Structure 1
């Protein structure tokens, strides 16, 4: 989290989504097949990202009215938990004014502002605004312009991204993995001064204090015996290996070939899951806001491949149950979009789909065109291996309660 913040708030940074502290960076476009800035991109939403330092005082988050358009502005603490999520689901589509308040702040807020208490001074926003195709970009840009951050105090905010030079090239997750134990725990002790652990974390805080890691106190690695240093370094290496292993096989429910993680967005004391999800990518949504299901195999448990043809059939009345919208996105084996003749990277309920006479919906997933008459329901696949992801925004209770499941992909040729 901290290394990502440093990289994205360094003045002059060209990292995607970079902006000064307490300022939004808005993504103005939906990516195409040439985009490889992040894995598993989407064409459903445009992002609005911000990194906040609340140690100097509260920050006002202004949201203009967004009638008819789904959006969410999840707020993440320094431990990557979503602690609040202004948006269509929670606060509606009217204009709102929020005061984001850091830990320990005492003072009066302007009348009419809704207070949101952040558990840590370091806070991130990874906002998403519904976009309905490229022609919809100008309308979304107008919505994004209605998201504003302004300080509520005159206290200066540091513009320094962090101590020493900032690596703008190496991915933050790789930077974190390369830290030696002494540097890692020194950074942990320093950051915990303004980003305290939760009460339920007390047992772990007490345990790491035995290693000399005390919030706000300089970490003295040299005061440890060689045996202690060696044991801590070995433990850190073992922990990193466990995180990497968990990240390769994330905890998820698997039904009919669809892998769906539900225990994300807020982790409690599930530290391994939290670290594994963060290693894959920051900014996981709460399931109440969005559920993503990934499919790599067909109904016969065979890997998906462009040499075959597949169908995803939703019977009448059994479409993905959502309050906002759903989509199915195609990815190659590197988790990027697939170049195709009709420039279609996802298909969903906002497209002009053709339904069967019985009310069913059949999506065609294959490399070659099924013919002009059927292209409305075609999601182009690559020639080789691929996977598809079903995104359900603001899912209904049957998704969250796990009583609705995505049908299996059936091979048809």
Structure 2
């Protein structure tokens, strides 16, 4: 690191640069901690995100009612996740011919979704083999392999396969077994058995990644950022940010030691980091819908361009957001009168005929407590959707009854049970149609019943 250029920058300018750079860098540091934790296993555990590099970890069942490992778990799909390291060599991703909804979004270390093999993109019943290569790989792919170039060395895979209830598990397990990750050097040489993962006892496996980053001081934060940039380069539209960082002595591809910069630069970085952290926290609450009335959702996730604050906010609140064309998750915490949803009251979610959620795949509504966990109930029913045997009215409309006590045997097919305490709802729209993405259809309000 050289600090010659930093001599000509005022402390205020350095502060502004550091504050913006903290926000810019955040997704990269979060993915780094998240991935090193998630890949620090000898073998896949079957829990989402837990498995060695370049191996799928497949969820084999829906989370039980008392599941609390992640918030807002779903009972629509079974996950197949992986952490990829494309540094040593490219990886072949094999996708079978599948006649149901699935997607395998590939997430760069900047948290942009850069490819999504799946029903919407590559189509149904279309077996494909992709050669996933890192940003600097040069070479010719073997015949039959299509290159997908990752913008970063490390990649997250957040796969989902449509699962129509517990009775469908065996069918989905066969599909999951057909998702394969094979190093290029082993491809085409018979069945590949991946090696055991290397477990590093030094890695903090207990502290959540956002908390680990929050505890970093400016020197540690920017030193790690500089290291990560060597394998996970800036995007093609990031030159303005990179050129600003050069003015304070931070250069892509080089180490950075804040402790040897001039005192005013060091102070500016420490102040800018603290304020950048606070700005992100505030933006993350807003992006996550905190305090929002009506259904809260975004149709601009997955790819962020140069909106670094929104990208960082989504990483902090909702890491791994999909492209809206693949799935959108409207959330609700208030009724049509703006009052918090509470299981001591009864509610109805009414869809007029022809106004059901517009999707090419399927939709569901899940109830959670205010911490984002399932609500145990006698029916063991966590969600309702278009794959359930819902009963429509004589006029073709649909009512979902959201309450603690049964609405009566004639309405029980449409009953989403909750507890007699505050709760929230999450609607999931898989492959939403353009009328929703363009804003011509919105989820109807939930009304309190008299």
Q: TM-score, normalised by structure 2?
A: 0.87
Select which of 27, 39, 44 maps to 1:9: 39
Q: Does 1:335 align with 2:372?
A: yes
Q: Does 1:409 align with 2:440?
A: no
Cα contact 2:42–2:197 (8 A) shared by 1: no
Deviation at 1:278, TM superposition (A): 0.9
Cα contact 2:293–2:333 (8 A) shared by 1: no
Cα contact 1:311–1:365 (8 A) shared by 2: yes
The separation in 1 between residues aligned to 2:186 and 2:350, in whole angstroms, is 58
Partner residue in 2 for 1:45: 77
Deviation at 1:214, TM superposition (A): 2.0
Cα contact 1:308–1:412 (8 A) shared by 2: yes
Select which of 159, 163, 166 maps to 2:203: 166
Residue-by-residue CA offset, 1:220-249 (whole Å, 9 max, x unaligned): 222112222121011111111111111112
Q: Where do residues 250-329 of structure 1 align in structure 2 (5 Å cutoff)?
A: 250=287, 257-329=294-366
Residue-by-residue CA offset, 1:349-408 (whole Å, 9 max, x unaligned): 000000001110000011111122211000011211111011100000001101101111
Residue-by-residue CA offset, 1:82-139 (whole Å, 9 max, x unaligned): 0010000000122111111111211111112121111111111011111111121111
Select which of 131, 139, 143 maps to 2:163: 131
Q: Does 1:92 align with 2:92?
A: no
Partner residue in 1 for 2:269: 232
Residue ranges of structure 2 left out of the alignment (5+ in a row): 1-30, 188-193
CA change 1:404–1:252 in 2 (3 A) is: farther
Partner residue in 1 for 2:137: 105
Deviates more, 1:368-377 or 1:204-213: 204-213
Deviation at 1:216, TM superposition (A): 2.3
Secondary structure class of the residue paired with 1:232: helix
RMSD: 2.2
Q: Does 1:78 align with 2:109?
A: yes
The separation in 1 between residues aligned to 2:380 and 2:446, in whole angstroms, is 22
Q: Where do residues 56-67 of structure 1 align in structure 2 (5 Å cutoff)?
A: 56-67=88-99
The separation in 2 between residues aligned to 1:379 and 1:341, in whole angstroms, is 11
The separation in 2 between residues aligned to 1:254 and 1:231, in whole angstroms, is 33
The separation in 2 between residues aligned to 1:198 and 1:2, in whole angstroms, is 17
Partner residue in 1 for 2:185: 153
CA change 1:406–1:256 in 2 (3 A) is: farther
The separation in 1 between residues aligned to 2:362 and 2:84, in whole angstroms, is 30
Secondary structure class of the residue paired with 2:349: strand
Deviates more, 1:253-262 or 1:326-335: 253-262
Deviates more, 1:106-115 or 1:334-343: 106-115
Residue ranges of structure 1 left out of the alignment (5+ in a row): none
The separation in 2 between residues aligned to 1:256 and 1:170, in whole angstroms, is 32
Secondary structure class of the residue paired with 2:87: helix
The separation in 2 between residues aligned to 1:49 and 1:154, in whole angstroms, is 21
The separation in 2 between residues aligned to 1:157 and 1:185, in whole angstroms, is 33
The separation in 1 between residues aligned to 2:318 and 2:196, in whole angstroms, is 26
Partner residue in 2 for 1:200: 237
Indicate the structure whose relative CO is greater, using CA pairs within 8 Å and at least 6 residues apart: 2
Cα contact 1:16–1:37 (8 A) shared by 2: no
